[in-house]
Amino acid sequence: MQQYDSQKNPPSIKKQCYGITGNTEIWEYILDSGCNMEVRIITYGGTIISIKVPDRDGNIADVVLGFDNLQDYVSMNNDPHFGSLIGRYANRISNGIFELNGNVYCLDINDPPNTLHGGNEGFGTQIWTVDKADSNENSASLVLSYLSPAGAGWTGETINPSWRPGYLYGFPGNLSTTVTYTLTNENQLIIDYKATTDAPTVLNLTNHTYWNLAGEGSGTILDHVLTINARQFTPVNPVMIPTGAIDSVVGTPFDFQEPKAAGQDIRTHNIQLVYARGYDQNWVLPEAADPEEVLLAATLHDPTSGRLLEVFTSQPAIQFYTGNSLNGSYYGPSNREYRQSDGLAFETQHYPNSPNQPNFPSTQLNPGETFNSRTIFKLSATE
C-alpha cells in the first residue's frame, strides 16, 4: 500500500502515452501537488482517470471510479461518463429538441426520450488538444481545448420522433471550449471552463467524476456523510425532466443542509427517488453576489478513512447522482465490479432542460460573449 510522504515537494506535471484510438495517440498527464495528491487526466474526453490522496493514517488510495485502459473508455462510448468532460449540454434536454431565436433544433435521442450529456458524440468522446502543460511553485496545470462544430449533437444514429419539416439538426454555432485543470499545493483540483461561439447557442458544461472516498472498488458510498448547501431542488417527471417547479428540500429526502449519511433516506417512499432509482436530482445553490464567485456547494466525508471532499463552484446548481446505472457490468483498476451506489457524482451545472424552461436561468451564449465557470474539489483528511 502506498504511504504518505511527509516531505513537501514542488508541484509537477509529466506525460506518457495512454494508448491509441484509430490513428491518434492519447496522452495521459500526471499532475502531482507535491503534497501527496496525484491527478491523472487523459486527452480522450478530457477524462479524470485517477485521483490519489491519503487517508488520516497516510494510506494513499484512488478515490474515483474509472476504467484501467483506453479501450474500455472508447468501446463504452464513454458510458457511464467516468471522469469525463460533459458538453455541449450537460444533463437532459427534453425530447431532444429546443427552440432558440425562432428556430427549432433537433438532437440525438441517447437517453430515450431525451438527449443526455450532449448526445451520442458529446465532449466525453472527443479527443482534446493540449494547449499548455506546466507547473510552478504553487500548482501544476493542464489546458485542454476543443472546437465543437455547428451541428454537433446530431449524428443521425438514432431517430428523433419529435422531428418536423423545417427543424434544424444539432447545436447551432461553432463552439470553442477551453478547460483548465489546476492542481494546487493545497490539494485543490480547480476546473476552469471557458467557451465562445460564433452564433447564438446553448451550453451547459461540467465534469462527471464518480467519487468514493473509501477508495475505488471498496463498495458503497451510502455511508459517506454528505452536506449540500441548498434549500431548494428541481423535481422531475417520470423521464427525469424537471417539471419547472422549484421546491423546498425541507421535510424531504433531499434535505442535506445538515450532515447525514448519503443513503439515510434513499429507500424512503418518495416518487422522486422512484423515478431516479436513487438520487439524480438538481439542487439549486444560493445565488452569489458576483456570478463568478465560488461558493461552497457540498461536502462529503468518509468516517472510516477520514477523507474529506469539499466542492466549491460558481455554477447555479449541482446534480447529486448516486451511480444508479452501475449494474455490475463495469470493472475498474481494482478488478472489482461497480454496482449501484459504489460511487457518486457532483455535477456542477446550470439546471437541466433550461432551454425549454423559460423560468430557469438562461444557458444561451451569444457571439461576443464568453462563458466562464469554476469548480474546485478540495481533498483533505480529518483526524
Q: What is the per-residue pLDDT for 6?
A: 57
Q: With the C-alpha atoms ordered 48, 54, 55, 56, is the resulting torsion angle positive or negative?
A: negative
Look up residue 273 and give its DSSP letter.
H
Q: What is the per-residue pLDDT for 2?
A: 59
**Of 84, 175, 173, which is closest to residue 371 (Cα–Cα)?**
175
Domain coordinates in residue numbering, the chain? 12-381
Q: With the C-alpha atoms ordered 27, 28, 32, 33, is the resulting torsion angle positive or negative?
A: positive
Q: Which of 208, 224, 301, 350 is catalytic?
A: 208
Q: SS3 letters for 196-248?
A: EECCCEECECEECCEECCCCCCCCCCCCCEEEECCCEEECECCCCCECCCCEE
Instruction: Count CB atoms within 10 A of the CB of residue 328.
Output: 10
Beta carbons of 30 and 15 less than 8 angstroms apart: yes
Q: Which of 38, 301, 347, 350 is catalytic?
A: 347
The verdict on whether 81 is a catalytic residue reads no
The verdict on whether 301 is a catalytic residue reads no
Q: With the C-alpha atoms ordered 178, 179, 185, 188, is the resulting torsion angle positive or negative?
A: positive
Q: Measured in Å, how far apart are the chain's first and last C-alpha atoms?
A: 20
The rounded distance, in Å, linking the Cα atoms of 369 and 255 is 36
**What is the full per-residue pLDDT of the chain (383 aa) written as tens digits?**
455 565 679 999 999 999 999 999 999 999 999 999 999 999 999 999 999 999 999 999 999 999 999 999 999 876 899 999 999 999 999 999 999 999 999 999 999 999 999 999 999 999 999 999 999 999 999 999 999 999 999 998 888 898 899 999 999 999 999 999 999 999 999 999 999 999 999 999 999 999 999 999 999 999 999 999 999 999 999 999 999 999 999 999 999 999 999 999 999 999 999 999 999 999 999 998 787 799 999 999 999 999 999 999 999 999 999 999 999 999 999 999 999 999 999 999 999 999 999 999 999 999 999 999 999 999 999 98
Of the candidate CATH numbers 2.70.98.10, 3.40.630.30, 1.10.10.10, 2.30.110.10, the domain formed by 12-381 belongs to: 2.70.98.10
The rounded distance, in Å, linking the Cα atoms of 59 and 227 is 25
Instruction: Count CB atoms within 10 A of the CB of residue 160.
Output: 19
